[in-house]
Amino acid sequence: MNTSLFLPAARRLYIFSAAIISAILLPASVTPAQAADDVQLVIGGQPVAFVVQPYQESDGSVYAPVDFVRRMGGNYTPSSDGRSVDVTGSNGSKITVPFQMVKERYCVPVKQVADALGASVGWNDRAHTMTLRARIEVVKQDRDGLSIFTSYPIYYSVKRLEKPQRIYVDLLGADLASAPATVPATNPGVSYIRSGSISYNTVRIVVDLKKNIAFKIASGPVTSHVQVAMSGDGETHVATRPQPILPVPVPVAPRPLPVTPLPEPPQDTPPAASGLQITDVACNVVSDTLTQIVIKTTGQGDYRTETLAGPNRLAFDLADASLADGLKRLISTDHSIIKSIRSGVMKADGKKFGRVVLDMTKLVAFNVTTQPSDDGVEYVINVQTPAQATPPAPTVAQVPDSTLLAGKIIMVDPGHGGGDSGAVGIGGAREKDLTLTIGKQLRDLLASNGATVYMTREDDTKPSVAARPQMAIAAHADYFISIHCDDSGARNSHSGTTVYYHAQNAVCRRFAIDVVNRIAAVSGIPPNGVKSDTIRFQTGFGVLRGSTMPAILVECGYMNSESDLSKLRTPAVQQHVAEGVVAGLLDFIADTGNR
């Protein structure tokens, strides 16, 4: 790190005066939220974790950091006059909206933007939750099979049921009201296509089959055009081999869907049969921001989760699972979020599920990870709990689930470059070379775990400080990781790894804690802890200030420390630093809820 990371004084002055001018011209757009109420925003069926929590204004409108449009396949840029934000939807729709600047995030009126991007907007006043659901625009069957078009890209899953013969297409975060009740079946093997709902956030398209026909998912994992290719003759239909479209049969009244909202677990459950067993359920408070519900089972099975509001519940269902004798059916806790945990067995769609329900004071972000145990598999529900003003949490001692990186977009920023060497260490070692080497190792490690990785530089060039976070925003990055090495002047005056976060941002601080702990565990370089970047500079580091996603700056070690430098020049240690960053990022994703 050196001063070249900071904006030059003239540029800072410009920003400062521009802020005053816009405060005079546009008082509404820069008024911070006053006594605003926190709001949960749900997109794609999942609560979204934000650096700045969405809030409700006194007029009832809900504001959230504009980043949420990326969950809907959209993008945004501040308008050229700096007074508004231009939002573009995945289908090309555009809207320009005013913003409120909160902790350097552009917060925009959610409903106005969501309406423009084609979402159906729901509001639960009691749970203070705004839910955005994609509209289902077209459901049709043609020579390419079943096609479902939604107003913006969503996740979906396709399941096969044997008795009766059915295909389920579950659309996550979609609105049933927009779906047609029935769709003409043109494939001779299909008797009905119907729409139903298995929860507020999940629409189920049911394809009733006359016989066992083959199908193939022909669309990507996140899409606004779900495609399921089907064959009428037992072979998977190939799109390049057209089949005649058969006449539409006379519509038959659809049978009621057996997919109404799931019942609560009954008080008594039948004795254990064959299949999986849930043998233990435990609630572990891991840190002030993470609580884990550990569900021990005798083996691996299909599971699903769903959140239900009013009362707030999180349900975990494990297919074909029963409860072991002696399993406690009700666990009461004094946890701030989780009031109690109930276990039971329920039947739906002719299937049996072992169900664990968390009764919660509010819905929060969560994800589920699995890990092998001595005699089966443990499912772990990682429940994010709001950060409180407490000392740093202890290191989370758990095996990171590297699958959490799949689909994530990460910007790696090797510090300095080109004419800017950064710190020059003992023997002439240059910071810009070490940051690039470690950055490339980090890139390769992240990519090998399924992440999409971009770098602000991949050679000896120097993008400007302001350009680096802009690249991350343009790449729709989920995380920004800047790599630097420290320098404190006199030889051996300091040693250790320090991770910086911006200002008082609690989310980025959590990210920094997770990363510094993991680096310390593997690198052999002592940890210096985490620091706010405002310790180094009044307005922090430009690369962190400019990032709209969780961002950290890792000072791997000191260039003026003989011990640190000899380690940082060792390829094995460089690799360990990269591994530590990846493990810390995984902890952070688990802490904050996968999304």
How many degrees, rounded to 5, is the angle at CA 206 between CA 205 and CA 207?
120
Q: Compute the least distance from the CB of residue 410 to Zn ion, in Å.
A: 20
Q: How far is the CB of 584 from Zn ion (least distance, A)?
A: 19
**Contact positions toward Zn ion, by CB under 5 A?**
1, 415, 422, 484
**Smallest distance from Zn ion to CB 1, Å:** 4
Closest Cα to residue 342, out of 261, 264, 277? 264
Shorter beta-carbon distance to Zn ion: residue 166 or 536:
536
Q: How far is CA 200 from CA 64, 110, 197, 420, in A?
A: 22, 19, 7, 54
CB of 507 to Zn ion, least distance (A): 23
Helices (H), 7-130: 9-25, 27-30, 110-116
Of 54 and 415, nearer to Zn ion (C-beta) is 415
Integer Cα distance of 327 and 170 in angstroms: 32
The H helix count followed by the E strand count for the chain is 9, 36
Beta carbons of 411 and 383 less than 8 angstroms apart? no
Shortest gap between Cβ of 564 and Zn ion (angstroms)? 14
Report d(CA 97, CA 113) in Å as an integer: 8
Considering the complex, state which of residue 93 and residue 437 has its C-beta at the smaller distance from Zn ion. Answer: 437
Ranges of H-type helices in 64-215: 110-116
Alpha helix segments (H runs only) across 239-317: none
Q: Which CB, 354 or 422, lies closer to Zn ion? A: 422
Helix or strand run (H / E) with residue 442 = helix 431-448
Q: Considering the complex, what minimum distance in angstroms separates the CB of residue 455 from Zn ion? A: 16
The CA–CA distances, whole Å, from 205 to 221, 228, 263 equal 17, 11, 20
For strand 409-414 and strand 452-455, is the pairing parallel, antiparallel, or unpaired?
parallel
Strand pairing partners for 119?
A: 134
Q: Report the residue number, 355 or 462, with the smaller CB distance to Zn ion.
A: 462
What minimum distance in Å lies between the beta carbon of 497 and Zn ion? 13
Cβ closest to Zn ion, residue 64 vs residue 553: 553
Q: How far is the CB of 205 from Zn ion (least distance, A)?
A: 53
Q: Which is nearer to Zn ion, 109 or 422 (CB)?
A: 422
Question: Using CA of residue 442, residue 447, residue 450, residue 452, what is the dihedral sign?
Answer: positive
- Tokens at 409, concatenated: 């977009």
- At its nearest, how many Å lie between Zn ion and the CB of residue 8? 17
Chain-centre distance of CA 478, in angstroms?
8
For Zn ion, the closer of residues 217 and 424 by Cβ is 424
Distance CA 413, CA 416 (A): 9
Q: Distance (Å, rounded) from C-alpha 512 to C-alpha 500?
A: 6
| For Zn ion, the closer CB: 4 or 395 | 4
Q: Tell me the closest approach of the beta carbon of residue 6 to Zn ion, in angstroms.
A: 11
Q: How far is the CB of 439 from Zn ion (least distance, A)?
A: 12
Q: What angle do CA 530, 538, 488 make, to 5 degrees?
A: 55
DSSP symbols for 395-428? P--S---GGGGTT-EEEEEE--BTTB---B-GGG
Nearer Cβ to Zn ion (187/482): 482
Find the helix or strand (DSSP H, E) in which 567 lies. helix 562-568
In terms of CB distance, is 2 or 91 closer to Zn ion? Answer: 2
Which of helix, strand or coil describes residue 14? helix
